[in-house]
Amino acid sequence: MFVREKKRRNQDGSVVTYLQLVENKRVEGKTRQRVLCTLGRADDPKLRADLGRLVSTARRYAEEEALVVDASTRVETKTWGEHLVWGRLWEETLGPVLREALFPERLAKAVYLMVLGRLASPRSKCATHAWSGDVYGAGFEEVELHDLYRALDVLSERKEVLEQGWFERHRDLFTDTDLLYFDTTSTYFEGEHPEDLAQFGYSRDKRGDRRQLALGVAVTRDGLPVAHLLLPGNTADPAAFREALLYLQRVLGVRRAVVCCDRGMVSEGNLEAMREAGLPYIVATRLRGSKLVTEEVLARAGRYQAVADNLRVKEVKLEDAQDRYIVCLNPLRAEEDRRNREGILAHLEEKLAHGTAKGLLRGAARRYVRVTGERVTLDRAKIAHDARYDGKWVLRTNTDLPSRDVALAYKGLWQVEEAFRVLKTPLELRPIYHWTEGRIRGHVMVCFLAFVLRQLLRARLDKLGWEGSFTELLASLGRVRVSVLRGKCGQTFRLRDEIPAWAMPAFHAVGMRAPRRLERLD
C-alpha cells in the first residue's frame, strides 16, 4: 500500500495533481494497482494538515520508522564488522586457551582488545584503548588503560603455557609426519632498553642504527603458527636454531615432525642435536666454500628427475655419509644466472680493454679476475667453475622421503617469510617502544596471536574454495558499522550498515549468519 500522484489536465491547459491511496494486488499472475481512495488535491493546505494527523497516528503502529524520523531520537554509531568475525574466531580458538591458562577474565578481555586492534588498525596501546570505545558489542567498557599494560606482563609470564595450550588444543593440525618450518628475522627498538634483549646486530630492516631483537617463528606446511622465540639482537642464526629446538622439544613436546630450515641455520652441532633427538630434518647447505658439496656432490653425474617446469632433482649418494644429498635445479633461474654472468663479464672486458682495473675487485666481479702484480686478467677457470652453480641448490636430509618430496617440502619455506612480512607490515610489529623486557615480550605475543587468527581465517577461507583478495575482505569488514537508536519513550533499535559482498565470505568461514539489518533490543 502506498500513496501515488495522479495528474489531470483541465480544458484550459492547467494541470491538477491528486493524491491517491493505492495497493498492489496479484490478479491472474499479474500485478494490478487498485485505488482504495482519492485523498484530495496535492496543493490543498487542508489535505496536508489531514495527512500530518494521519502520519502521527500511524507512527504508533510503525515504531521503527517513527524512531528514525523522530528528531528526539538519540543515535550512536560504532564499528562492528571486525569484532563480529574476529570475536567469533577468538572465542572458538584462542579464548579458551587463555581461560585454560587461568588468565584473569578482565586481562583476557584486554588481550583480545589489543589483538583486535592489531588486526583492524595497529596503533599504540593508548590509542587502542581510546579506539575501544568505538567497538560495538565487545564489552570493552570495563577495560581500562592500565589493564592493557598489565596484560602484556602476564602474557610474557605465561607465554610457554599459552603456546603449549594452543599446540595441545590443535595437535591434530600438527601431526607427527608434518613439516615444521623455522627461520629468524630481526626487529628494532626505539631506545636502549632492555639491555639483555636490545643488542646491536644484523638488521633485516636496514636499521643498523637501532638496537635489534632476534625473532624466530615456527609454522606448519600450511602456514599455521606453532611458536615464536625472542633472543638478543646479536644472536647468530645457528644459536637461535638450537634454542628453538630445545623449546619445541621441552615445551611443546615435538618429537617426530620434520624440521625444515635454510642454510643460515645449519651447523654440524645443530644437525647432531637433531639426530640425537630423533628429529628428521631437511636443510639447505652452502654451495660455495664447501669442499664436500663442490667436489663430491655437484661433481657426481646423474640424470635429473622433472618435478615441475621450474624444478629438477637428483639424489647423490655418498659413501659413509649420514645424510642424503639432493641436488635441485631451476632451469629458469639457471638461464637468469648465465645472463647475469655474461653481463658482468662484458663489463669487465670493456674495463680491461681500456686499461682500467679500478673497482674490479669488489662484489661478484672479484670471482672472475686474476691479479698478478699490477696486471688484472679474466680467470677462465673461475668463470667455468662458477657456471656449475647456475640455478642450483643442495639439500641435506636424514628422512626417507622421495627426492621430489624433499625438494617440494623445502620450497614451502616461503611460509615463514610470509609470516615475517605479515608480522612486520599489516600487524606492525616494529618499531618497539616498550622499555621493559616483559612488556616487549607481551607486545610480540599480541602480534603473534593476531597472526594466528589471520592464518586460521585464511585456512577456513581456503576450505571454502574462496580465491578473492584477503586485503579487500578485511577492509570491507572495517566498513560495517552499526547505529543504535534510542527513542524518548525508551525503545531501542539496532540498525547495521549493508555488509559489502567482499566481506560475506568471512562470515561464512566462521559459520556465522549476518545479523538482521534492523533489530529491536529493549
Q: Is the pLDDT assigned to residue 468 strictly greater than 70?
A: yes
Residue 428 burial by CB count (10 A; 0-12/13-18/19+): exposed, middle or buried?
middle
Q: What is the pLDDT of residues 67-107, one digit of tens each?
A: 554 556 788 899 999 999 999 999 999 999 999 999 999 99
The three state secondary structure string of 497-520 is CCCCHHHHHHHHHCCCCCCCCEEE
Residue with cell 549476518: 514
Q: Can you give the pLDDT at residue 176?
A: 47
pTM of the model: 0.81
The domain spans of the chain are: 2-61, 332-387, 473-520
Q: What is the pLDDT of residues 179-208, one digit of tens each?
A: 889 999 989 888 777 878 878 888 888 888
Q: What is the pLDDT of residues 255-292, one digit of tens each?
A: 778 899 888 887 888 888 888 888 889 999 888 777 78
Q: Can you give the pLDDT at residue 356?
A: 63
Q: What is the pLDDT of residues 133-151, one digit of tens each?
A: 999 999 999 999 999 999 9
Q: How far apart are CA 522 and CA 513, in angstroms?
A: 22
Rg (CA), the chain: 34
- 448 contacts 460 by C-beta, under 8 angstroms: no
Share of the chain above pLDDT 90, in %: 44
